[in-house]
Amino acid sequence: SDGGGNGSATFSLASLADLLFLPSLALVSIAMLWWDDNRSRRQLEAETKEKLSAHLRIAEFAQQGLLADEEAKYAPIPKASCLSWSEEDSLARSEACKKFEALKRKTQCLFAQKAFVWGNDWVEEPAIAGCSQDPHFQLLSNVARTIPRFYRFCLEVKAGAALDAFVFEARGSELCSDIDRFATTVRLVLSGLSRGDPAGVDCMQKTNIAKASWYFQFARESFFVTSFAPCYSETHPRYQFGLHPESCFILFQPEMAFLRHDLPPDRPKSDTNWQEPSDIRDRIRVNFRKHGREYKIPETISYPPAEFIVPPLDVNDTPIAFWKSSLPPPTSSSSSTSAPSRSFAPACPGALAAAVTKEELGTA
């Protein structure tokens, strides 16, 4: 019996050791899995940062000269977005935003006053031999300067930032004193941004601009584009209220902003409840009409968005095909019947960066 008892005791101790060892082994295994998971996460994070390094360098470039100190300039980028969203944000205090703020307060759009907007800072470029005499040199150079910041804006929108619009100020009365000059200005701005699209889509070179299937896009973000100019009268929805007569403004509103504000679906003009507005879309339409600035509303929800980017002086007139160049065709050689060259003008760095053509520069 004693032998049996000792065997039983030995078995019990061994079983107890096994019972104690198994949880320890499990804990070690869990710890190793946790460590391996963290290592994989760190590796994935490093690979992601490497892939986005160009994006981050562009973002850094866009901030240069805008943030108050070096520490803020090179601050780490949070996961959700690149900046903290407050009214004190330097990128929301650009020259374009400051000027556009007064216009935001006066327009009949009910979203405008609370909209969070980024914009460009207009810079007068020094004279450059060979191209600074071109009337659009300053415009094209500023489009080139804006591309990194506009790209940054798109990255923020994609990351879920509560940004409502990007405003581009084109400065110079010669750019917007009449509707033809204004249309040319809008074409050059949109074409320059489009040529600099990091996604390579170049939407302004598409053949379907005059169709309902087209929309302006940059960095895979789609935009609703509107414009304001001093050439519009006080009864026009794009009236500038006599503010900044030396400038015009092009507003890029990402489609994501409309989704975030839960704007109801578009509908024909005849479906508008003018007497008792049923939603925010009706209220905006009624508000513009109430102030004598009713805008054109199609009787279909399938229409070319491009036709509404630069509206005619009378909103009911024929739409302005601003995307078509009004410049005369280039002089061809005596025997050549080939299409106009789309090569760039090397004498003009600003225009080259904005990727405009010799024909548009007038330097061919």
User: pTM for this one?
Assistant: 0.69
Q: Supply the pLDDT for residue 96.
A: 94
CA dihedral of residues 221, 225, 228, 232 (deg, nearest 10): 170
Q: Supply the pLDDT for residue 113.
A: 76
Q: Supply the pLDDT for residue 26.
A: 62
**For residues 92 and 273, what is the distance between their CA atoms, to the nearest angstrom?**
36
Q: Supply the pLDDT for residue 105.
A: 85
Q: Write out 13-42 in H/E/C secondary structure.
A: HHHHHHHHHHHHHHHHHHHHHHHHHHHHHH
Q: Supply the pLDDT for residue 268.
A: 93
Q: Supply the pLDDT for residue 128.
A: 75
Burial 46-67 (b: 16+ CB within 10 A, else e): eeeeeeeeebeebbeebbeeeb
Handedness of CA 59, 226, 352, 51 (dihedral sign): positive
**For residues 187 and 319, what is the distance between their CA atoms, to the nearest angstrom?**
14
Q: Supply the pLDDT for residue 67.
A: 40
Q: Supply the pLDDT for residue 98.
A: 93
Q: Supply the pLDDT for residue 112.
A: 77
Q: Supply the pLDDT for residue 88.
A: 42
Locate 64 and state its tokens: 């240069």
Low-confidence ranges of the chain (pLDDT < 50): 1, 3, 56, 58-88, 327-347, 349-364
